[in-house]
Amino acid sequence: MKPFIEKLPLSNDTSFVARTHRTPNFEVPWHQHIEYELILFTEGAGLSFIGNYVGEFEVGDIFFLGANLPHTFKKSGDLITSGVVVHFRDDFWGKEFLNLPESKEIQLLLNTSLQGLKISGKSKELLNPKIKSLESETGFTRIITLCECLNILTAQQEYVKLSTQDVKQVNNKNRERIDRVFHYTMENFTEPVQLSKIAAIADMSIPAFCNYFKKSTRKKYIDFLNEVRIGYACKLLTDTNTTVEGACYDSGFNTLANFNKQFLKAKGMTPSKYRKMFSYRETAQDSAMNKGRHDYSS
């Protein structure tokens, strides 16, 4: 399956797009576009697929994605999902802007974003209101605010690089092949996935496919599949009452021992500890909110 090439509309009085996308308009298939993307999630949770990266997203998360980096966000279950999405081209402010000496760090940021960035730390707090305001701002204020967002990212450098897959021009045949594999995996990872089936989807022998996938994504296919499954298991452990054993089988693993091994490899802790960590965080947040309400009422 070819990635959907998204063409973003511009009005006569705007140079970049900033708008909220909400279920069902949020759900977009595996796609890419020449614009850079800054996205703030305001509702929902699920899995992010960015290049060859697989991981979770939740409310408040912010991602910055480079031009032509294939990606999609798959919501969990029946959750309503929405986000403020900002799209801009690297020349929207003119052909020479990025050649200015003062723009050197911005150009470096744009280059780094080709790996996909997940924003962390204080930068998330600083960016949140600015990204939201971009949707309603008009005139030159919009450009100033977008520049402020990029300046926060360059000054703080609080982000995690996600994908190790090179963003480069590839011929249509190779692009269609890898995208068929990604699409099938995202749709079927909770079921048994046979390497022979994946190789057939890629129209290759099993040895040729294994070499091709590792060369294309810098990881083995089984590692990619396990990352998808672990990401889904994380959402089950934090958002549902499913047992660890239930999360194991519901996410596509066929033995609890292998599930525990792969989870430890991906997250640096056991599934039980991961669940307790998030339960503790939610309890602490609830306590803080209750204390705030008590202090206010006093």
Whether residues 143 and 184 fall in one domain: no
Pairing of strands 45-50, 71-75: antiparallel
Paired strand residues for 184: none
- Residue 70 within a domain: yes
Pairing of strands 45-50, 159-161: unpaired
Whether residues 101 and 197 fall in one domain: no
Which tens digits make up the pLDDT trace of 198-224? Answer: 999 999 999 999 998 888 777 899 998
How many angstroms separate the CA atoms of 22 and 208, rounded? 41
Number of domains in the chain: 2
Flag whether pLDDT at 51 surpasses 90.
no
The CATH number of residue 233's host domain is: 1.10.10.60
Q: Quick one: average pLDDT of 277-293?
A: 55
Q: How many CB atoms lie within 10 A of CB 57?
A: 25
Whether residues 266 and 243 fall in one domain: yes
- DSSP E strand boundaries for the chain: 4-5, 17-22, 31-32, 36-43, 45-50, 53-58, 62-65, 71-75, 82-88, 117-119, 159-161
pLDDT given at position 1: 40
Q: How far is CA 152 from CA 65, 149, 161, 195, in A?
A: 16, 5, 16, 44
Output the average pLDDT for the chain.
86
Flag whether pLDDT at 76 surpasses 50.
yes
Q: How far is CA 136 from CA 144, 160, 199, 266, 284, in A?
A: 13, 29, 48, 40, 34
Q: Residue 284: which pLDDT band, with cuts at 50, 70 and 90? A: very low
pLDDT given at position 227: 87
Q: Do 21 and 85 meet the contact criterion of CB atoms below 8 Å apart?
A: yes
Place of tokens 């190779």: 174
Q: Residue 239: which pLDDT band, with cuts at 50, 70 and 90? A: confident
Highest averaged pLDDT of the listed ranges 166-170, 231-235, 248-252:
248-252
Whether residues 86 and 214 fall in one domain: no
Which tens digits make up the pLDDT trace of 101-120? Answer: 999 999 999 999 999 999 99
Paired strand residues for 53: 50
pLDDT > 70 fraction of the chain, expressed in percent and rounded: 86
Sign of torsion, CA 163 164 168 171? negative
pLDDT given at position 289: 46
Q: Do 48 and 71 meet the contact criterion of CB atoms below 8 Å apart?
A: yes
Q: Quick one: average pLDDT of 121-127?
A: 96
pTM of the model: 0.73
How many angstroms separate the CA atoms of 225 and 278, rounded? 24
Whether residues 90 and 131 fall in one domain: yes
What Rg, from alpha-carbon coordinates, does the chain have? 21
The CATH number of residue 140's host domain is: 2.60.120.280
- Residue 296 within a domain: no
Q: Do 156 and 170 meet the contact criterion of CB atoms below 8 Å apart?
A: no
- Residue 254 within a domain: yes
- Tell me the DSSP string of 12-52: TT-SSEEEEEETTSS---SEE-SSEEEEEEEE-EEEEEETT
Whether residues 205 and 242 fall in one domain: yes
- Residue 141 within a domain: yes
The residue type of 147 is C
Range of the domain at 55: 4-161
Q: Residue 213: name the closest of 246, 184, 244, 178 by CA.
A: 178
Q: Residue 127: name the closest of 68, 42, 210, 67 by CA.
A: 42
